[in-house]
A and B are shown apart, each in its own frame.
Chain A
Amino acid sequence: MTQGSMLRKITDYANRADPYPVYAELRKTPVLHDEEGPYIVSTYWEIHGLLHDPRLSSDARNLGPQAVENLADEEDPALPPAFLRLDPPEHDRLRRLAMTPFGPPHTPRRIHAMRGELSRIIGELVDEFADRDRIDLVDDFSYPFPVTVICRLLGVPREDEPRFHHWAETLAASLDPDPDEDAAERRRVTQQARSELGLYLAELIEERRRAPGDDMLSALAAGHGPEGQMTQAELLSTAALLLVAGHETTVNLITNGMLTLLRNPDVLKQLRERPHLAVPLVEELLRYEPPVQLLPQRTPLADIDIAGVTIPKGASVWLVLASGNRDPQRFMEPDRFDPRRKDNQHLGFGSGIHSCFGAPLARLEAQLALTELARRLDNPRLLADPPEYRRNAVLRGPRHLPVAFDGLRGRDA
């Protein structure tokens, strides 16, 4: 199998519903490459090693001239790369600044404190199903829930959702390395979405400066932390990153979760009876159906020898997290969904210095959402299996998930 055809198989929409056989084939060559195109890494230990390898850069400006071709260019002085796409020391500084109002050591209780509010939002969304016998889980729940949460957290007005929804979607799509798309056109559309989102956030931040709330944008804009302050441009990029990341990922975790539960009714039943199961269950979901399937944007600063291959400086490297998560060298019976799996160090949130910033929030959202859906939906059933998927091969998940049910159990039943 040549690389060209493997790459095509990964991006091929026909494989979206079940990409795992393609990954199994991929793993026969842990680091796959031919004349051109990226080095595709698909085995657990190699991915893990590279995520901790200080020679591997996340900054697109380090890509060689050849590799840059494949990328949607994001250079924009008003909106520089966010820390997702930066290396230390800038990455570390910005991540610490962003963490100051979000988590430990300065704000250790923020996520915990949102628990009640998350449950309330979930409860309200589920209450809306009362007079219905079918829903589209995506449009009626998995999408609106995390969006409401991230808006609350950042201090973005929920009513503006129709405006930034489109930008967020476009930016998420720009991650998708679909070779069939017109690269120039995509660059243009991405660029436009970025600058519109930037303008929108700039206005909002101005407002938060004037009238601060207890939200993250207000805190970041005020920047009273011990580490100083972000520049205006850094602030905008960070805000955009958080908004998009908090938007386009959790939706898939919740939808993939419900899909997997409906395919494994015994587990659904167990979750209903033992809500504690939600914690390991969500970890297993992040392994088994990770919302971020691959990381397509890294490049070596120096040649890296790995698994018998030399990845040259400047080459484009793809790390296929979802494939590493199914690597039999790392996980016993990797294709089995086992919510009680031990030693589950999956790659669903990445690993190393870029490992997901929002992980504590995403985990809690998914745990509460799935527990509540399992508890309240009476006899839920899939109406389409497999469901219709989004195009995106990187941020993979169903576009719709039609579910039928017999009724709704009471809130505190």
Chain B
Amino acid sequence: MSGNGSLEALRRSGRIVIVGASLAGLRAAEALREEGFTGSLTLIGDEPHEPYDRPPLSKQVLLGKADADRTALPRHRELDAEWRLGVAATGLDMTARRVRLADGTEVPYDRLMITTGVRARPWPHPLEAELDGVFVLRTRQDAVALNRRLTAVPRRVLVIGAGFTGSEIASACRELGLEVTVAERGPAPLVGALGGVVAQVAADLQRAHGVDLRCGVMVTGLEGDSAGRLRRAHLSDGTTLDVDVAVVSLGATRNTEWLAGSGLGAGPRGIACDAGCRAFDIRGIVTDDIFVAGDVARSPHPLFNYQFLSLEHWGNAVAQAETAAHNMINASADRRPHVWVPAFWSSQFGVSIKSVGVPSLGDEVLIAQGSLAEHRFTGVYGYQGRVIAAVTFDQTKWLEHYQGLIETAAPFPPPGTTVDRRAEGLRPVPADFPDPSLPTHGPTVTLSGYSPTDRRITFTPARA
């Protein structure tokens, strides 16, 4: 469809299909209606639920402060959509413009939006992963099951991987009064996302709250009893732990398998799209009828010389969905680029952590305000002499200022001084990210070079 007449027809009576009925899918659908799209709208989701919010699953829900069934995403407007819930998309025919579903039916489209997100990376040994007591946390069902088990007061919970999700789970367990061991391959929790200097504070927080934190070790095996219940975990340092719950928090895998062989540029690193959210095909040619948004997307970002960036960030899913929806039903000249500055939040051990930009790209960090020892501070990350990111621990209100510095590529370290500048804030120190070739758990930002295709099978590191 090109030319104004057909665009008008699309907006009036076109068929738009959205695959992936979660945060990005719902917000895209709402944005389409908000922009005046009156054609047919179909949302396909493999989960049986209407769209719900995930961040509470590792926070209020685990604490029993919110019911897992009560995390439905607020609706911003009437949708008048057809919902195909509980059925997965299994294939795509780009030429015939049809999506195949697991129940054998096919859904034709004029425009397709892909928002299939990511799923939790499972425990790598399938038999051990089957043990009763081994959990992951990505979906509402996961949360309900884990919650039920935690309410039964296990002797000890083992959290495998101390990224954001793992750390939040450990925090919730401590708040519930449960014994927790956290096993992290890296030198500290969150080290892949925030670097060693800041991660040390995360480690202090965990220990201060009674977490049995073990860094530099890997869980090598999970052992069950004859009834198939988890009983024991083996660590790479030779120790064993008696546990009856293990939560595997080893990051995420992109939901792109259903696109295999479709010709779309989709792979383990996600689906490449241009700044306007249009998907690339495997030849690196941009499509004009398939759009991508949310955790499954990788898109070029102007702040990083247009390298492709994947974000597992709530705010990104919303912003990208809105941009994709807008571009889907507007003419070229009216399209907008997705230029959202990465932003993430987490709450754990009573501390509110927020970041903007891409900390993992930073080579140095300046504790511009506050103090690491007090667990209240603002860290500013520098990359090749400019400000690339910032993180706050319980100092949220300053973040906006640093976001401005990132957006304007301000020099690093920022000149001048600020309120609450301490001795430790007089000069930057190495940010101390782990060797990028070593995997860490759950980096929520990934830079993946300039190629829109995914032919190279490479491990996706936490850093570029």
A residues with a Cβ closer than 8 A to B are 49, 52-57, 87-89, 92, 301-304, 352-353
Given contact pairs A55-B416, A302-B416, A302-B418, a sample of 4 additional A-B residue pairs in the complex whose CB atoms are under 8 Å apart: A52-B401, A54-B398, A55-B419, A301-B417
By a CB distance below 8 angstroms, the chain A residues around B416 are 55, 301-304
Q: Enumerate 7 A-B pairs (CB-CB under 8 Å) in ascending A order.
A: A55-B418, A87-B419, A88-B420, A89-B374, A89-B376, A92-B420, A302-B415
Contact A54:B368 (CB < 8 A) given known A87-B420, A88-B420: yes
Determine how close the nearest CB of chain B comes to the CB of A408; give it in whole angstroms.
41
Interchain CB contact under 8 A, B404 and A88: no
B399 to chain A, nearest CB (A): 9
Judge whether B415 and A88 touch: CB under 8 Å: no
Q: Given A92-B376, A352-B397, does the pair A49, B420 have CB atoms closer than 8 Å?
A: no
Chain B residues with CB below 8 A from A49, complex form: 401, 404
**Interface contact A301-B419, CB-CB below 8 Å:** yes
The 3 A-B pairs of least Cβ separation, nearest first, read: A302-B416, A54-B418, A87-B419
Q: From DSSP, what is the main secondary structure of chain A's interface residues?
A: loop
B419–A57 touching, CB < 8 Å: yes
User: Could you tell me the distance between the alpha carbons of A353 and B392 in the complex, rounded to whole angstroms?
Assistant: 14
How far apart sit A57 and B418, CA to CA, in the bound complex (Å)? 8
Name which of A54, A55, A301 has the most chain B CB atoms within 10 A of its CB: A54
Task: Give B residues with C-beta under 8 Å from A.
Answer: 368-370, 374, 376, 378, 397-398, 400-401, 404, 415-420
Q: Report the Cα distance A401→B397, complex, angstroms.
A: 38
Q: Is the CB of B418 within 8 A of A52?
A: no
CA distance A49 to B417 in the complex (A): 16
**Complex Cα distance A42/B404, Å?**
20
| Contacting pair A88 B419 (CB below 8 A) | yes
- Which residue of chain B has the shortest Cβ distance to A89 in the bound complex? B420
Contact call B418/A353, Cβ cutoff below 8 A: no
B415 touches A353 (CB 8 A): no
CA A369 – CA B169 in complex, angstroms? 45
- Shortest beta-carbon distance, B452 to chain A, in Å? 36
* A49 CA / B403 CA spacing, docked (Å): 11
Check if A88 sits within 8 Å of B401, measured CB to CB: no
Per the bound structure, the CA–CA distance linking A51 and B377 in Å amounts to 18
Residues of A within 8 A of B376 (CB): 89, 92
Chain B residues positioned under 8 Å from A52 (CB to CB): 397-398, 400-401
Give which listed residue, A87, A301, A302, A353, contacts B397 with CB less than 8 A.
A353
Known: A88-B369, A88-B370. A55 touches B420 (CB 8 A): no
Known pairs A88-B369, A88-B370, A352-B397; A55 contacts B404 (CB<8 A):
no
What CA separation (Å) do A302 and B419 show in the bound complex? 10
What's the Cα separation between A197 and B378 when bound, in Å?
A: 37
Q: Which residues of B contact A301 (CB under 8 A)?
A: 416-419
Q: Are A54 and B370 in contact (CB under 8 A)?
A: no
Q: Shortest distance in angstroms between A324's beta carbon and chain B's nearest beta carbon?
A: 16
Q: Which residues of chain B are near A87, meaning CB under 8 Å?
A: 419-420
CB distance from A236 to the nearest CB of B (A): 24
Interface of B is mostly: mixed
Which of B368, B404, B417, B418 has its CB near the most chain A CB atoms (within 10 A)?
Answer: B418
Known contacts A88-B419, A301-B419; is-contact A53 B369 (Cβ 8 Å): no
- B404 proximity list for chain A (CB < 8 A): 49
Interfacial chain A residues near B417, Cβ < 8 Å:
55, 301-302
Roughly how many angstroms separate A302 CA and B413 CA in the complex, as a whole number? 14
Q: How far is the CA of A166 from the CA of B55 in the complex (A)?
A: 51
Question: Shortest CB–CB separation between residue A108 and chain B, in angstroms?
Answer: 13
Residues of A close to B415: CB separation below 8 A: 302
Chain A residues near B369: list those with CB within 8 A: 54, 88
| Cα–Cα distance between A54 and B420 once the two chains are bound (Å) | 8
**Cα separation A53 to B370 with both chains bound (whole Å):** 15
- Which residues on the B side are within 8 Å of A55 (C-beta)? 416-419
Residue on A nearest B371 in the bound complex, by CB = A89
Contacts of B419 in A (CB 8 A): 54-57, 87-88, 301
- In the assembly, what is the distance between CA of A393 and CA of B376, in Å? 37
A89 to B375, CA, bound (A): 12
Report the bound CA distance from A278 to B398 in whole Å.
Answer: 31
Q: Which residues of A contact B397 (CB under 8 A)?
A: 52, 352-353
How far is the CB of B202 from the nearest CB of chain A, in Å? Answer: 21
Q: Which residues of B contact A92 (CB under 8 A)?
A: 376, 420
Q: How far is the CA of A304 from the CA of B415 in the complex (A)?
A: 10
| Assembled-state Cα–Cα distance A52/B376 (Å) | 17
Min CB distance A46 to B, Å, is 12
Distance, CA A89 to CA B398, complexed state (A) = 13
Q: In the complex, what residues of A have CB within 8 A of residue B401's CB?
A: 49, 52-54
Q: Which residues of A contact B420 (CB under 8 A)?
A: 54, 87-89, 92
How distant is B370 from chain A, measured CB to nearest CB, in Å? 7
In the complex, the chain A residue whose C-beta lies closest to that of B418 is A54
Bound CA span A352–B419, Å: 13
Give the chain B neighbours of A53 by CB distance below 8 A: 401
- Using Cβ atoms and an 8 Å threshold, which residues of chain B touch A352? 397
Residue of B nearest to A353 (CB): B397
Q: Closest chain B residue to A302 by CB distance?
A: B416
How far apart are the CA atoms of A344 and B370 in the complex, in Å?
Answer: 31
Residue of B nearest to A313 (CB): B416
A89 engages B368 (CB within 8 Å): no
Query: For A303, what are the chain B residues with a Cβ–Cβ distance below 8 Å?
Result: 416
Within the complex, the shortest CB–CB distance from A182 to chain B, in Å, comes to: 33
Interchain CA distance A279-B444 in the complex, whole Å = 38
Min CB distance B208 to A, Å, is: 13
A38 → B minimal CB distance (Å): 20
Residues of B within 8 A of A57 (CB): 419
Closest A residue to B378 by beta carbon equals A54
> How far is A145 from B420 in the complex, measured between Cα atoms in Å?
38
Bound Cα distance A69, B404 (Å): 34
Cβ of A311 to closest chain B Cβ, rounded Å: 11
Q: How many Å from the CB of A139 to the closest CB on chain B?
A: 38
Among A88, A92, A352, residue most surrounded by chain B Cβ atoms (within 10 Å): A88
The closest CB in chain A to the CB of B404 belongs to: A49
Residues in A whose Cβ lies below 8 Å from that of B418: 54-55, 301-302
Q: How far is the CB of A225 from chain B (nearest CB, A)?
A: 14
Q: Within the assembled complex, what's the spacing in Å between the Cα atoms of A103 and B300?
A: 43
Closest residue on chain B to residue A91 by CB atoms: B419
Q: Which residues of B contact A89 (CB under 8 A)?
A: 370, 374, 376, 420
Complex: A54 Cα to B416 Cα, angstroms: 10
Q: How far is the CB of A331 from chain B (nearest CB, A)?
A: 19
Shortest distance from the beta carbon of A310 to any chain B beta carbon, whole Å: 11
Q: Smallest distance from the beta carbon of A304 to chain B beta carbons, Å?
A: 8
Residues of B with C-beta under 8 A to A54: 368-369, 378, 398, 401, 418-420
**Shortest distance in angstroms between B395's beta carbon and chain A's nearest beta carbon?**
8
| Nearest-Cβ distance from residue A309 to partner chain B, whole angstroms | 16
CB-CB < 8 A to A302: which residues of B?
415-418
Chain B residue with Cβ nearest A54: B418
Q: Measured between alpha carbons, how far is A211 from B368 in the docked complex, in Å?
A: 44
Chain A residue at smallest Cβ distance from B400: A52
Interface centre among B369, B378, B398, by most chain A C-beta atoms within 10 angstroms, is B398
A304→B376 CA distance, assembly (Å): 25
Complex CA–CA separation, A54 to B370 (angstroms): 11
Cα-based distance from A57 to B416 in the complex (angstroms)? 13
In the complex, how many angstroms separate the beta carbon of A226 from the nearest chain B beta carbon?
10
Docked Cα-Cα span, A55 to B415, in Å, equals 10
> Across the two chains, which residue of chain A brings its CB closest to B422?
A89
Residues on B with C-beta less than 8 A from A353 are 397-398
A353 to B376 alpha-carbon distance, docked (Å): 14
Q: Give chain B nearest CB distance to A282 CB in angstroms.
A: 23
Closest to A56 in B: B419
CB of B411, distance to nearest CB on chain A (Å):
12
Closest CB in chain A relative to B289 CB, distance in Å: 33
